[in-house]
Chains A and B, each alone.
Chain A
Amino acid sequence: MSTSNVESPRVVSRGEWLEQRKALLAKEKEFTRLGDRLAAEKRNLPWVRVDKNYVFDGPEGKETLAQLFGDKSQLLVYHFMFGPDWEEGCPICSMVGDNIDPNVIHLAQRDVNLVVVARAPLAKINDFKKRMGWRFKWVSSFANDFNHDYSVSFETEEMKGKFYNFGTGGFPGEEAPGLSVFYKDSAGNVFHTYSSYARGPEFLVGAYNYLDLVPKGRDEAGLPFTLAWIRHHDRYEE
């Protein structure tokens, strides 16, 4: 990559800038269309029928996966990193939580229920959710295999390397983030349609969508890991 503008800015006239900006715009439009095509491919994946009866602890008591749809036919699950023994939820997932909350009401208009799932017991989830001021539905998979089956909780070191992101990457912790999509047909059958991990659901990190465009970019080169600068939204001052 060339030296960044911040270190040695290239300053030009408006006319010259426009010329380069328009050339880039053509690439941006092509990229947007490529994104449309890729999104269509994601939706064209075949589905897998969910035969296991997952039961979650939720605000309304015990709820099955089918019940998490509410009155909708499409269910989005955000796999939030919050293990049973953790003191609090992961700060990066919490930033995603900050982004999820305002979406729920809009997605509901599109036949979509959005539910957050973590393995911590419900009481722990409820306390943390209250601290963060979130309203989205958040249920516990503590008592079932859901996190294991959708490859976001790992009991052994070997599993971390073998199962995360379809075995392509590995994950350093016992809990990992992800996004899964389910569909319920009119007969009540539930299908798993899509899951995405690692950088796949990066669009959920709303701050990245902006940072990618400001002069310094993500500016994470000197950090121990990407997003290491993120804190819980109530903990930046510490």
Chain B
Amino acid sequence: MTTQTPSIEDLSTHPVVSRDEWLEARKALLKKEKEFTRQKDRLFAECRTLPWVKVEKNYVFDTATGKQTLADLFGDKSQLIVTHFMLGPEWEQGCIGCSFGADHYDGIVIHLEHHDVAFVVVSRAPLPKIDAFKQRMGWRFKWVSSYGNDFNYDYHVSFTGDAIAQGKVYYNYEVRPIDIDELAGTSMFYRDAAGDIFHTYSAYARGSELVGGAYGYLDHLPKGRNETGPGHNLGDWVRHHDRYGN
């Protein structure tokens, strides 16, 4: 794995060169970075040219303003982003990794809303549980409950006890053993002028990693992601922003 963290010894013997020599190495890398950026553009274009699936089911969510359908969640926008936030009906609090992502939403949503995009967070916990946790975290974005509807199951971020017991959980487009009832993802929807709704895209696992930016920073730092704990992922270090203590 190339996300590996260099040891502190590596850092103490890291090559140090003149500005000119650095510039030469930096410019060589810049070429690769530009190629990577263009590759990203092409890949995202492919994501957007996937065909769509018409949403036929009438999902109804519990929201701060009462019952709302999936169509209502668009507000006056034609594009809807749904973040699947891991907070199950029986959970005490929202998932730490999802909370880390959510710390960024308030800064992003206002800009998206001015570019024909509605942004909604959805969890399966009942609304009062969501509201209490949202208040604790100090977030303002729209967060609705899919408790009682099939939304989380249809978009493969909640799993039945049977599927978990059989070790056959469908997540990120494959069946695998997973020992948790909720997982994370991001789904995109489009509403046309006639009011029809289409599912256009969903990403799970590391597919949602671009969101937020913290990994973008860490990837550029000498120590990288530095995830050396048991999970080798952000679970090794991320806490709720009110729980870091010191």
Q: Which one of A34-42, A57-65, A81-89 contacts B?
A: A34-42
**Which residues of A lie under 8 Å from residue B79 when comparing CB positions?**
214-216
Number of interface residues of A (CB under 8 A): 94
Contact A112 B44 (CB under 8 A): no
Distance of A200 Cα from B104 Cα, bound (Å):
20
Closest to B30 in A: A166
- A52 to B199: give the CA distance in the assembly, Å: 55
Main secondary structure of the interface of B (DSSP, over half): mixed
Pair count A-B, CB < 8 A:
276
Contacts of A34 in B (CB 8 A): 36, 39
Q: How far, in whole Å, are A185 and B219 apart by their CA atoms in the complex?
A: 19
Interface residues of A in 187-210 (CB under 8 A from B): 191-196, 199-204, 206-207, 209-210
Q: Please tell me if B136 contacts chain A, counting CB pairs below 8 Å.
A: no
Chain B interface size, under 10 / 10 to 19 / 20 to 34 / 35 or more = 35 or more
Produce 1/0 per residue, B40-61, CB < 8 A to A.
1001111111111110000000
Instruction: Select the stretch in B15-23, B84-92, B122-130, B159-167 that faces chain A.
Output: B15-23
A14 on the B face (CB < 8 A): yes
> Taking the nearest CB of chain B, how far is it from the CB of A55, in angstroms?
21
Chain B hits for A18, CB < 8 A? 173
Q: Are B222 and A74 in contact, with the CB atoms below 8 A?
A: yes
B49 close to A17 (CB less than 8 A): no
A5 touches B112 (CB 8 A): no
Stretch from B65-73, B144-152, B175-183, B186-194 contacting the other chain: B186-194
Chain A 25-57, CB-CB to B under 8 Å as 1, else 0, gives 101110111111111111101111100000000
How many whole Å from A177's CB to the nearest CB in chain B?
A: 14
Most chain A beta-carbon neighbours within 10 Å: one of B3, B6, B115, B237: B115
28 A-B residue pairings within 8 Å (CB atoms): A1-B45, A25-B172, A25-B173, A31-B39, A40-B4, A42-B219, A76-B220, A95-B107, A98-B108, A102-B103, A103-B213, A103-B217, A106-B238, A109-B238, A181-B220, A183-B222, A185-B11, A194-B220, A195-B26, A201-B216, A204-B213, A206-B211, A209-B211, A209-B212, A214-B48, A215-B200, A217-B48, A233-B110
CB-CB nearest 6 A-B residue pairs: A203-B216, A98-B107, A39-B219, A102-B103, A212-B44, A10-B51
Known: A12-B52, A206-B211, A231-B114. 20 other contacts (CB 8 A): A12-B53, A14-B53, A27-B43, A38-B32, A39-B3, A46-B15, A47-B14, A47-B17, A47-B22, A48-B17, A48-B19, A106-B241, A107-B214, A110-B226, A168-B30, A192-B22, A204-B213, A209-B210, A209-B211, A215-B48
Which residue numbers of A lie inside 8 Å of B, CB to CB? Answer: 1-2, 4-6, 9-14, 16-18, 20-22, 24-25, 27-29, 31-43, 45-49, 73-74, 76, 95, 98-99, 101-103, 105-112, 114, 165-166, 168, 179, 181, 183, 185, 191-196, 199-204, 206-207, 209-217, 219, 229-231, 233, 236
Contact surface of B with A, Cβ cutoff 8 Å = 1-4, 6, 11-12, 14-19, 21-23, 25-27, 29-30, 32-34, 36-37, 39-40, 43-54, 78-79, 81, 100, 103-104, 106-108, 110-112, 114-117, 119, 172-173, 186, 188, 190, 192, 198-203, 206-207, 209-214, 216-224, 226, 237-239, 241, 244
